[in-house]
Amino acid sequence: MLTPTQFIRQAALKTGTVVTPTPWKEKPADKKVRKSEEGKIRMGDHVGVVMEDPGLEDVPDESCWLCGGEISGRGRQVKRAILDTFTDRDKARAPWSDSICPGCAFCLSYTTLRNYSILATEEGLRHPGRAEIKGLLLEPPEPPFLLCIAVSGQKWLHFRAEIAYSQDGFPVQYEETRVTVDRATLASLLDIVEQLYAVFTKAEILSGSYGQNRIREFGLRRFQELEAMAALVRGSRLFDLAVFVAQKKEIEVPAAEPEKEGLCTTTLTPTIQSGQLGLF
Ligand SMILES: [Zn+2]
């Protein structure tokens, strides 16, 4: 059984080079900057990070100090891998151990795994943006998967996360909060929030304290209906998450008639005799 960090490591190694949301900038011809940029390459307009194991060493412990997962010989010593600046020592699952597993060693080696949200699956790893996260919450990938939603980008979330083994009632790590996502409930919360978000700010929706001018703009009666529903769930973890991922509804433009590709293959092709092909 893999722990969350071990699962993330496996996904990242499978992907190899992971594209980040960081825009690519040409490096100044300064040697210091160049050194810190090692392992980063250009991927389209973004920075890609080449992900590989940090240097591992033989370690005697069988349990990982941080995630409690199994270590089979190789890992890193806590005193070398865990810096003084690491503030989550109280979250160590096996505080008696002096070693961490390759999964934790890997996950603590990349700041991109702290700065950005993480989606890990058996297929690989990526850093989804907010709109994509909304889609993932409503249509989760094939389990097992792991989703960490970074808000501050300043905290390690991965070792606090939990691997999801179901596409409904699944756990996600939303900053420091564990949220269990019931898709139908989230969808109905999103519907309320996104209607309000057309006019109100996310801060107003979260707090329930709205500007009078905007209430007039929105329409008092409709506002009262939606706010009555929002008031019932305000403060719940799922409501907070719904507000976080809510998107402005785009103004709907009538879509052009979709191309009916099926017609070409199903009705057109059989009418063309092989002898006619030469005419085209
Ligand atoms: Zn570990």
Per run of 10 residues, the mean pLDDT along the chain (length 280 residues) is 97 95 77 62 92 95 97 96 91 97 96 96 96 97 98 95 97 97 97 96 97 95 97 97 92 51 39 38
Ligand 1 centroid distance, CA of 4 (Å) = 8
Ligand 1 centroid distance, CA of 75 (Å) = 9
Ligand 1 centroid distance, CA of 129 (Å) = 26
Separation CA 43–CA 15 (nearest Å)? 13
Ligand 1 centroid distance, CA of 108 (Å) = 10
Q: Where are the alpha helices (DSSP H) in the chain?
A: 4-15, 31-36, 78-81, 102-107, 112-115, 130-138, 183-197, 202-207, 212-218, 220-233, 237-245, 261-263, 269-271
User: Is 159:4 a contact under the CB 8 Å cutoff?
Assistant: yes
Task: Name beta bridge partners: 41.
Answer: 48
Separation CA 101–CA 150 (nearest Å)? 23
Q: What is the pTM of this model?
A: 0.84
Whole-number Cα distances in Å, 277 to 260, 267, 268: 22, 16, 12
Ligand 1 centroid distance, CA of 118 (Å) = 17
Cα angle vertex 174, ends 84, 78, to 5°?
25
pLDDT, position 265: 38
Ligand 1 centroid distance, CA of 67 (Å) = 4
Ligand 1 centroid distance, CA of 160 (Å) = 11
Report the SS3 class of residue 74: strand
Separation CA 196–CA 199 (nearest Å)? 6
Ligand 1 centroid distance, CA of 272 (Å) = 63
Q: Kindly report the number of other CB atoms within 10 A of residue 211's CB atom.
A: 12
Ligand 1 centroid distance, CA of 241 (Å) = 28
Ligand 1 centroid distance, CA of 6 (Å) = 7
pLDDT, position 155: 94
Ligand 1 centroid distance, CA of 68 (Å) = 6
pLDDT, position 259: 46
Separation CA 6–CA 64 (nearest Å)? 11
Ligand 1 centroid distance, CA of 5 (Å) = 6
- Helices 183-197/237-245 angle, 10° precision: 50
Ligand 1 centroid distance, CA of 69 (Å) = 5
User: Is 144:167 a contact under the CB 8 Å cutoff?
Assistant: no
